[in-house]
Amino acid sequence: MRVRPGELAHTREMFIMLMGKGEASSRRSWMEAKGNEVEADV
């Protein structure tokens, strides 16, 4: 997978927020704000 030019910093920040240790509060805030926009097949 390739990241679009100029998007690497944003992609890295998003990855750290979603997967990083110690990021639970920001992850929860993001999911509460944007969770309804995601289509997931679980």
The reported pLDDT for the residue numbered 3 is 78
Q: pLDDT, tens digit, for every residue of 1-42?
A: 787 888 999 989 999 998 999 999 999 999 899 888 877 777
**d(Cα 31, Cα 8) in Å, to the nearest integer?**
21
The reported pLDDT for the residue numbered 13 is 92
The reported pLDDT for the residue numbered 28 is 92
pTM, to two decimals: 0.63
DSSP string computed for 7-34: -HHHHHHHHHHHH-TT-HHHHHHHHHHH
The reported pLDDT for the residue numbered 24 is 93
